């Protein structure tokens, strides 16, 4: 009888261990990828709704061509999670100010990167009285701060628990599949934007890849996808 009790206790302990173990437990690649992916998706949804409410019409807010994703929000969610989740016991003011500064710096870096790599910008605040070096704005820094508090206090705990509740095998396989798809999308989008930059420099379509992007993603098509993207004057 004692052997049966010990055996049942061991099995129960093993079951508990299995339930506690998650492919995305804590901070690891799987957790960060899902935060990135969901941040990319929800960012586009929120910004699209915001555009509809403030401007009265729907407009493309995606940053990738094949999927409705914006990596700016995805990386922003990962950075805020990495830097501020460990400070969840700090005051809301501390988290607000930290996320406000971090978001503003990150937005500035993204604008600078886009200009250097693709020769374009998608937002500018040079004429805005609340603009900060033309690449971000105090208003949007405040938005980053508010979103940061909401993320640390409410959104991240909820999303983290849901991610960790996904069965391990399904979670790992789905992560790999989505990571491959997103990587392909980023490469594909980069090629389309680099080819657009070549067109501005009058580089001819002298191979099959350039012909493909000129045919399927010409300037008119890209203008629909990126309505606020403008080339930088040299």
Position 99 pLDDT exceeds 70? yes
What is the separation, in whole angstroms, between the first and last Cα of the chain? 85
pLDDT digits 0-9 by tens, 49-63: 988 998 898 999 999
What residues does each domain of the chain span? 24-231
pLDDT digits 0-9 by tens, 131-165: 777 788 999 899 999 999 999 999 999 999 999 99
Which own/partner pairs from 187-193 qualify as long-range (CB within 8 Å, at least 24 positions apart)? 188/65, 188/66, 189/63, 189/64, 189/65, 189/66, 192/65, 192/217, 192/222, 193/118, 193/120, 193/222
How high is the pLDDT of residue 4? 52
Position 5 pLDDT exceeds 80? no
Task: Quote the CA–CA distance of 23 and 110 in Å, as a whole number.
Answer: 31
How high is the pLDDT of residue 123? 86
How high is the pLDDT of residue 234? 64
- Confidence label for 16 from pLDDT (cuts 50, 70 and 90): very low
- Confidence label for 13 from pLDDT (cuts 50, 70 and 90): very low
- Confidence label for 17 from pLDDT (cuts 50, 70 and 90): very low
- Confidence label for 19 from pLDDT (cuts 50, 70 and 90): low
């Amino acid at each position: 009888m004692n052997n049966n009790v010990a055996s049942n206790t061991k099995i129960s302990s093993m079951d508990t261990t299995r339930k506690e173990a998650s492919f995305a437990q804590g901070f690891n690649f799987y957790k960060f990828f899902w935060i990135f992916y969901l941040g990319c998706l929800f960012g586009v949804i929120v910004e699209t709704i915001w555009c509809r409410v403030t401007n009265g019409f729907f407009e493309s807010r995606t940053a990738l061509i094949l999927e409705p994703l914006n990596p700016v929000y995805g990386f922003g969610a990962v950075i805020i999670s990495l830097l501020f989740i460990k400070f969840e016991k700090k005051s809301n003011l501390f988290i607000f100010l930290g996320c406000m500064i971090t978001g503003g710096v990150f937005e500035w870096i993204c604008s600078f990167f886009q200009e250097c790599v693709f020769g374009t910008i998608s937002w500018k605040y040079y004429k805005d009285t609340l603009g900060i070096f033309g690449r971000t704005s105090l208003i949007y820094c405040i938005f980053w701060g508010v979103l940061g508090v909401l993320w640390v206090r409410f959104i991240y705990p909820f999303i983290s628990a849901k991610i960790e509740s996904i069965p391990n095998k399904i979670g790992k396989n789905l992560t790999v599949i989505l990571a491959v798809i997103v990587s392909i999308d980023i490469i594909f989008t980069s090629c389309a934007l680099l080819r657009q930059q070549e067109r501005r420099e009058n580089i001819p379509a002298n191979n099959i890849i350039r012909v493909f992007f000129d045919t399927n993603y010409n300037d008119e098509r890209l203008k629909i996808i990126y309505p606020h993207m403008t080339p930088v004057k040299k």
